[in-house]
Amino acid sequence: MNAPVNLSALYDCRDAFTQTLETLAAQDGRIVAVCNDSVGSSKLGGFRDKWPQRLINVGIAEQNMVGVGAGLANGGKVPFVCAAACFLTGRALEQIKADIAYSDANVKLCGISSGMAYGELGPTHHSTEDFAWVRAIPNIAVIAPCDRIETAAAVRFAAAHTGPVFLRLSRVGVPDLLPEAHVFELGRANTLRDGTDLTLIANGVLSHRAMLAAEQLAEQGISARVLNMATVRPIDEQTIIQAARETGAILTCEEHTIYGGLGSAVAEVVVDHHPVPMVRLGVPGVFPPTGSANFLLDEFGMSPVDIAASAAGLIKRKHQGG
Amino acid sequence: MDPNDLRKIANRIRRRDLQAVFEAGAGHIGGEMSVTDLLTALYFHVLNVNPVAPLDPGRDRLILSKGHAALALYVTLAEKGFIGKEEISTFLQPHSRLNGHPNRTKVPGVETNTGPLGHGLPVAVGIARAAQLDQARWRTFVITGDGEMQEGSNWEAIMAAAQFQLDNLTLIIDHNRLQQGARLADTNNLAPLAPRLAAFGWAVEEIDGHDMAQICRALTPGAISPGRPKCVVAHTNKGQGISFMQDNVAWHHKVPDESQYRQALIELEEAAV
């Protein structure tokens, strides 16, 4: 713990996703992949070559894609439904609600290139509302892994778990944060770094930025705890309450609008159980300008140095009594 | 089962449905009367289903995509033994599992939760694809309303079913010519439905959706066209069997008053003899 983040090797988590899926599919004939003409962007080419019959490409038709996933589950399959996160969630939200969650279909929804991963393609292709949309629906797990190791672990979890899962995956390169032997536990955050002055909570492509911010804060004599909170629903209440009690201030950062996502989920727990000063970093309720994902994260105050500055300001508020 | 016996069961289902709508003070009686003969033929002649093992992997699947006609499905499931007949009196009551739209997690025999229109057919395509992958012999049926075919998701599924050559899938369109607020022809007219489905590569058959012999014939395995999904356009009447409701747009979800209820019951009882 507290080892510096190694930025020399960055990984596209889609590779871990498909490698794990193929490993599992080789062992379990019930696993099928469903997609919307997204074989390339979902990195399902290898799956298709190995099991052409088990790759079900419905064409550009997301509502049907999600319904077909529910039907395959009814027929005894374990479908991984893969599409760009923006289209999977926005286009087929009612199917996710009625066919998957309410019907308790054993379907794994895999939102690829989530958040602002499509960067310059613009807000039509960004998926910065999906935490809010999907976590508002009962009976579906919402998971955003932070690195290739957690991605692989989350895919293994999803395959073994009976019930609806939404995996929110990115294509933006991220460094390793978790140990290779990491086992994913639903609704359980990981302490990436311990600290006492405040807690930084992040997931997905923000977790390593939070870690870099904590390293900078340490140089300023501030001890920041960093929690990687991949599961947004069900949220890890105990770990959040403990962080509020022990560090007295919480900063969240996410590749998502600040309305309804990780920060909101954390704030709900904090308000209900142990109110402390908070800052919620994310997309501030606007359609982002043109730029790459990493540029936009910096633009919205989530460079490590800006996260550290927000954290320092939060600590001042904490000492002033909120 | 003999068409005459099926007619008797359908009459019994209509009477119980009518009574439940009257007692609950709610329901979608027009569309329930139009779909009752189709449900009866399916559950008592066509489907290989077992109330004792409702999740048998080898069962035939039926999805009532027009989920607002849930009551007709509940009464049919009760007739078949999936739920107790006495439970129909709980329809729409607080905490009853028989709410306004069917829920597979609570009611045995329901395959997927419907209610929002245009959901059943995509799910049915997935079910049929699963059977095709396993080279299993069970069949998948889905009933949609005709107004429901205005939902674009259905046409996504229609394309996929033809592409996947799902000859184990049968779509039955309950073509009663009326939607909630008006006639189909005055809203967004999809009729004639048959050539549209045929243009997408489906095998299509048009039948009288109140003629038991025709329904049974259209749904037998012998009526399958190899390599093509099947669509049965069932010409029906909203409010079928009750003269003042029949083909009357006012009776989409209207509830009969006491005298209307008595008259409707008398008509159905006379038809039962």
Q: Using one digit for the tens of pLDDT, what is the confidence trace for A183-203?
A: 999 999 999 999 999 999 999
A147 and A34 within one domain: yes
Q: Checking DSSP bridges between strand A108-112 and strand A224-228, what pairing results, if any?
A: unpaired
A142 and A34 within one domain: yes
DSSP type of residue A102: I
Interface of B to A at Cβ within 8 Å reads: 57, 61, 103-105, 111-116, 118-119, 121-131, 133-134, 152-153, 156-157, 159-160, 163
| DSSP H helices in chain A | 13-27, 45-50, 62-74, 85-91, 93-95, 130-135, 148-160, 207-219, 237-247, 262-273, 293-299, 304-319
Matching residue, tokens 């705890």? A225
Give a yes or no: residue A174 inside a domain: no
- In the prediction, which pLDDT does A321 show? 80
If we measure between CA atoms, which residue out of B156, B149, B164 comes closest to residue B229?
B164
- In the prediction, which pLDDT does A322 show? 62
Percent of chain A with pLDDT over 70: 99
User: Distance of CA A204 to CAs A72, A272, B80, B188, Å?
Assistant: 29, 25, 50, 45
How confident is the model over A52-88, as pLDDT tens digits? 999 999 999 999 999 999 999 999 999 999 999 999 9
| A62 labelled catalytic | yes
Six token digits for residue B151 = 């939902």
Q: Which domain holds residue A280?
A: 190-319
Per-residue confidence at A311, pLDDT binned at 50, 70, 90? very high
A161 and A100 within one domain: yes
Domain ranges of chain B: 3-272
- In the prediction, which pLDDT does A2 show? 61
Give a yes or no: residue A183 inside a domain: no
**Measured distance CA(A65)–CA(A273) in Å, rounded:** 40
| DSSP H helices in A75-201 | 85-91, 93-95, 130-135, 148-160
A146 and A225 within one domain: no
A293 and A155 within one domain: no
Decide if pLDDT at A137 tops 90.
Answer: yes
Give a yes or no: residue A53 inside a domain: yes
A206 and A61 within one domain: no
Any residues with CB less than 8 A from the CB of A79 and at least 6 apart, and which? A31, A32, A33, A34, A56, A68, A69, A72, A73, A107, A108, B126
Q: What is the mean pLDDT of residues A262-291?
A: 98
Decide if pLDDT at A1 tops 60.
Answer: no
If we measure between CA atoms, which residue out of B169, B256, B208, B224 comes closest to residue B37?
B208
A154 and A29 within one domain: yes
Give a yes or no: residue A182 inside a domain: no
Preceding amide of B192 cis, omega within 30: yes
Give a yes or no: residue A18 inside a domain: yes
- In the prediction, which pLDDT does A63 show? 98
Taking each helix axis from N to C terminus, what angle separates B3-24 and B70-80, rounded to the nearest 10 degrees? 130
A293 and A153 within one domain: no
Catalytic residue from among A22, A62, A129, A255: A62
CATH number for the domain harbouring residue A243: 3.40.50.920
- In the prediction, which pLDDT does A4 show? 85
Matching residue, tokens 């009611």? B107
A153 and A25 within one domain: yes
A130 and A224 within one domain: no
- Residues in chain B where the model's pLDDT stays below 50: none
Q: How many CB atoms lie within 10 A of CB A275?
A: 11
Q: Does B160 contact A59 at a Cβ distance shorter than 8 Å?
A: yes
Q: What is the mean pLDDT of residues A107-113?
A: 97
A126 and A241 within one domain: no
- What ipTM, to 2 d.p.? 0.96
Give a yes or no: residue A35 inside a domain: yes
Nearest to A56 among B57, B127, B129 (CB): B129
**Best residue in B65, B66, B97, B113 to probe A by mutation, most A CBs within 10 Å?**
B113
First to last CA, chain A: 30
Report the CATH fold assignment for B3-272: Rossmann fold (3.40.50)
Number of domains in chain A: 2
Give a yes or no: residue A73 inside a domain: yes
**Measured distance CA(B28)–CA(B254) in Å, rounded:** 7
